[in-house]
Amino acid sequence: MSLRVASYNLRALQDDVAALARTVRAVDPDVLCLQEVPWIPPVATRVTDLARRCGLVWSGRDHRSGQTSVLTSLRTQVLSVTHHPLPARRGDRRGYAVTRVAPFGGPAVSVVSVHLSLDAPERVRHARQILASLDALPGPAVLAGDLNEQEDGQAWQLFGQRMRVVSPLTPTYPANLPDRVLDVVFATPDLTVLPHQEVPWLYEDLVAASDHRPVWVDLEVPGA
């Protein structure tokens, strides 16, 4: 039994939402980790509408997590959703969302949506706090999001000491002509990475939807 986990920075839905929804539908994730979830009201209406357009369900209706959240498909059972703020510079909103999911008939997997700071020392502090939170969760785990740094960054390397990169290291930013890998998926060693499947998305939609491109990975859940 497999679980497709994707990550997408929405840029606060400031762009073409129809194009964004078409892109998400092409990816067809079981769990979609979101960053830059909009904070300008009516938030609930906008995110609920996005989930409907994507054929997904909004599983975590809480924005204390610094504009991170998660959407899930009806193929996936949601066991719990928690949101955690991260201390950040004044005026900045940072946090992470932890969702416990289970493919129906399978064991639980923790999926963490993160959006790290623009400040390098702050990213390191955030990474350590997130990893400490993961230590308290049993079973396999996935961490996905916008790290605001590449693989030579300290926060990236901290995550890499405990987990491994499982998404393709294909540039994701900026969407029109990407040259930086800012968006990535990590997973614990007990999850098996399945061959990457490309999807029938449109370049025009990618450029119109957000300033980031999404990433995704198919993982085999142990014991399923």
Q: Report which DSSP code applies to 223.
A: T
Predicted local confidence at residue 42, as pLDDT:
75
Q: What is the pLDDT along the chain (224 residues), one digit of tens a residue?
A: 899 999 999 999 999 999 999 999 999 999 999 999 987 777 788 899 999 999 999 976 655 456 899 999 999 999 999 989 888 876 677 889 999 999 877 889 999 999 999 999 999 999 999 999 999 998 999 999 999 999 999 999 999 999 999 999 999 999 999 999 999 999 999 999 999 999 998 999 999 999 999 999 999 998 75
Q: What is the pLDDT of residue 104?
A: 77
Q: What SS3 string covers 34-71?
A: EECCCCCCCHHHHHHHHHHHHCCEECCCCCCCCCCEEE
Nearest to 63 by CA among 77, 75, 76, 46: 46
Q: How far apart are CA 94 and CA 40, in angstroms?
A: 16
CA distance 5 to 68: 15
How many whole angstroms from its chain centre is CA 183?
8
User: d(Cα 78, Cα 99) in Å, to the nearest integer?
Assistant: 7
**Residues in CB range of 170: below 8 A, 6 or more apart:** 178, 181, 215
∠ CA 84-68-97, nearest 5°, is: 40
pLDDT score, position 151: 96
Count the Cβ atoms, other than its own, within 10 Å of residue 159.
23
